[in-house]
Every structure is written in C-alpha cells, then in structure tokens.
Amino acid sequence: MITPVLPTYNRAPMAFVKGEGAWAITADGTRYLDLGAGIAVNALGHANPALIAALTEQAGKIWHVSNLYTIPEQERLAEMLVDKTFADTVFFTNSGTEAAELAIKMARKYHYENGAPREEIIAFEGAFHGRSTGAIAAAGSEKMVKGFGPLMPGFRQLKWPETEADHAAIRAAITEKTCAVIIEPVQGEGGIRKVPDQCLKGLRDLCDATGALLIFDEVQCGMGRSGKLFAHEWAGITPDIMMVAKGIGGGFPLGAVLATEEAAKGMVAGTHGSTYGGNPLACAVGAKVMEIISDEAFLAEVNRKAALFRQGLEALVASHPSLFEAVRGEGLILGLKCKATNTDIVKAAYAQNLLTVPAADNVIRLLPPLNIPDADIAEALTRLEATARAVEA
C-alpha cells in the first residue's frame, strides 16, 4: 500500500525534531552530528540565532505580497549579490531546479534576441541540475530520465574531462551553433568532482570564441562552500549566468539566477515569473545569510576549518586503505571516494550518530555547516574513524 507521503525517497528511519549548530536531535534527545547539513543547505547550522532573528522579525512585518509590487527585501539581496559577483541582475526562485529552468530559458532567449536562435545546450556526464523536465533533460542521467520521455530536446552531455581526447571532444562540440554550456564548477551529486581551474578557463575561452553562453550551476558548491563566495572564483573567470540555491536560504527555500546585463537582455517584462520567488520572508533570511557568508573574515575561517578537516580525512583514508581511496573537493564541499560500498559506510555512520550523504561514483559527501566549530570537526573525525573500524570488523 502506498504511504501518505509519495515514496520517492529511501528514507533513513531517524526523525529530527530540533537542531543546534552542527547537531540534529531526535524526539528522545539523541544527538546526531550532521555532516549533510540538509544537503549543503544549512550553511550556518541549525537554529542559527541571527537567521532566527531575521526570519521572525520579517514574519512580524509582512510575509508575502507577490512580484506585482516592489519588494524591498528582494532589492536589498539582489544588490548584495550584484555587488559581490560578476552579475548585473538577479531573479529569485524557490529552488535550484527553478533556477535551472530560468537559466535555460534565458540562454535560449538571448540568442533569439540576437536574431539567430541556437538550440544546443552542452552539459556534462554526472551533472545534476534538478528534477524538472528541463533539468533532467539537461543532465541526461539515465537513472533520472528513464520513463519520463519524451525529453525536452536540445541537450547533449559530454564526457567528464579527464583525458586529452575528452578535452578535444569538448573543443569540437562547442561551436557557433552552441546556445550555452552548463556545468557545476564542483559536481555535487556526481561525486564531488571539481572541474580543474584550467578546464573552466578553457570553457570560458571556447564560449567567448563562439558566442555561446557559459552557465555555472553553483547550487551546491556556491555560497561560501568551496572557501570562496562562489567556486568559480578559484579559476579566476566568470560565467554569463549562474544558478544559486541551497545555502543561500540557510534552510529557508530560496534560489536565484544571476546574470550579466548582456545575457539577461531578452528577459523583459512578461517573459518569466514566480508567485513565491523572492518573497519577503525568503529574502530577509537570504540577506542575512549573504551578509554573514560574503564577509572575507568568514570565508577565511571556512578555509581554515576546511584545511583542518581535510588533514584529518587524509589521515583517515591513509589508515583505512581497504575502505577509502581518496579525499575529494574544495573547502567544505568534501567527498570520500570509497572502495567499500559508500551506502554501507553511510549506514554504519548512523550507528555512530553521524550523518553523511552518499553521492554517485561511490562517494560519501561531507558538507558540514560552514561555521562548524573546530571541536565538532574533531568529533566528526573520531566518529568517522569509529565507523571505519566498525565496517572493517
């Protein structure tokens, strides 16, 4: 018999009723150290006092007005994002998937405006851009598209660049006919795979040479998670369009599409909309998250904590060569490439009251809150060590 909640998730049996920083707590008071952070969403931990204040203060004023009117909280957050990034303009959504939809529409409209519509959007194997019909067509993962056809046409997935032949295939694929290239600077669901800086630069050059738009999906790797405000900053280049979500709301549903004025030129009044997108509650929280995370001193702390965590993880991998192969990622978007089955280790970690998240390519994701205390990093390493011993036993 079907459950009242549509059973599209294989859920772990724990139910959390309360949170404190990096800890999630069940009804009987059992505390789990949360290295999933709601899949990179709770960037500032559970029950962050500054976010509670921002949310409750706004809740006492006005919740929702619709985008038929000017929303001061939205304008403020847009200005903060424009101020700190390549972007000239921002559209707010409720999720990463909705950001993907607009990014695709914006890219197609841009070339239409130019009088030369271009169809093909190039994506990469292992990518994840969301679960809408457009987003699954873009990523093209067999597991996610099966049974949902016909798919939206116009997408093509290239091999993840590893060999010289892969790079040559990318150079051959991006032409004057290409509408856009969409890529996660660090693949999340795909297994915490960072695109080498040289490769991101190469994509920028190819897009410049052909007039294709470059879209970065920073839904998972953005908002300070990589140690820079946005992960592409490590490569020293910028996209034309960028998708943001997850961390930007700190747990409140919020997403955004950032774009240059040029890339956004087709998106005039009436071309796109959202009832909830950028509502006052979401933007009040988002502005507080942005204020905290975009601070250079905060980002320096993320990098310091990341180095500490990574050092411990390298030691863990070295001392359990039968279970782990390597540490992956950048900043606090980290992955353990496993030799044993990743989901077995994730389950064994539950027994140590530790929450981690599996990813493709047999990887375990470690995405703690960006402000995780050093003591909790040490505790996480102790529990990972205990997990490894239990799996080996």
* Vertex 255: Cα angle to 75 and 174 (nearest 5): 110
Q: Read off the tokens for 91.
A: 């559209």
Instruction: Give the residue with the Cβ less far from ligand PLP, 217 or 330.
Output: 217
Instruction: Give the residue with the Cβ less far from ligand PLP, 104 or 245.
Output: 245
Ramachandran angles phi, psi of 355, nearest 5° = -105, 120
* Vertex 102: Cα angle to 330 and 75 (nearest 5): 85
Instruction: Name the strand (E) or helix (H) holding 207.
Output: helix 197-210
Instruction: Give the residue with the Cβ less far from ligand PLP, 34 or 101.
Output: 101
Least Å from the CB of residue 199 to ligand PLP? 17
Least Å from the CB of residue 291 to ligand PLP? 22
Least Å from the CB of residue 195 to ligand PLP? 12
Least Å from the CB of residue 71 to ligand PLP? 21
Instruction: Give the residue with the Cβ less far from ligand PLP, 45 or 185.
Output: 185
Instruction: Give the residue with the Cβ less far from ligand PLP, 71 or 182.
Output: 182
Least Å from the CB of residue 275 to ligand PLP? 16
Alpha-carbon gap, residue 189 to 370, rounded angstroms: 19
Instruction: Give the residue with the Cβ less far from ligand PLP, 85 or 220.
Output: 220
Instruction: Give the residue with the Cβ less far from ligand PLP, 130 or 134.
Output: 130
Least Å from the CB of residue 126 to ligand PLP? 11
Q: Which residues pair with 357 in a beta bridge?
A: 365
Alpha-helical regions (H) of 27-186: 37-40, 49-59, 72-84, 96-113, 133-139, 142-145, 164-173
Alpha-carbon gap, residue 365 to 357, rounded angstroms: 5
Residues near ligand PLP (CB under 6 A) are 95-97, 100, 128-130, 184, 188-189, 217, 219-220, 245-246
Alpha-carbon gap, residue 54 to 56, rounded angstroms: 6
* Alpha carbon 92 to chain centroid, angstroms: 16
Least Å from the CB of residue 101 to ligand PLP? 10
C-beta nearest to ligand PLP: residue: 96
Closest CA to 289 of 258, 251, 332: 251
What does each C-alpha distance from 118 to 105, 125, 169, 211, 331 come to in angstroms? 12, 21, 20, 10, 36
Least Å from the CB of residue 253 to ligand PLP? 8
Least Å from the CB of residue 190 to ligand PLP? 9
Beta-carbon neighbour count of residue 148 at 10 Å?
Answer: 11
Instruction: Give the residue with the Cβ less far from ligand PLP, 188 or 368.
Output: 188
Alpha-carbon gap, residue 377 to 199, rounded angstroms: 32
Closest CA to 48 of 349, 283, 350, 293: 293
What does each C-alpha distance from 353 to 11, 25, 174, 386 come to in angstroms? 16, 10, 47, 11
Instruction: Give the residue with the Cβ less far from ligand PLP, 287 or 333.
Output: 333
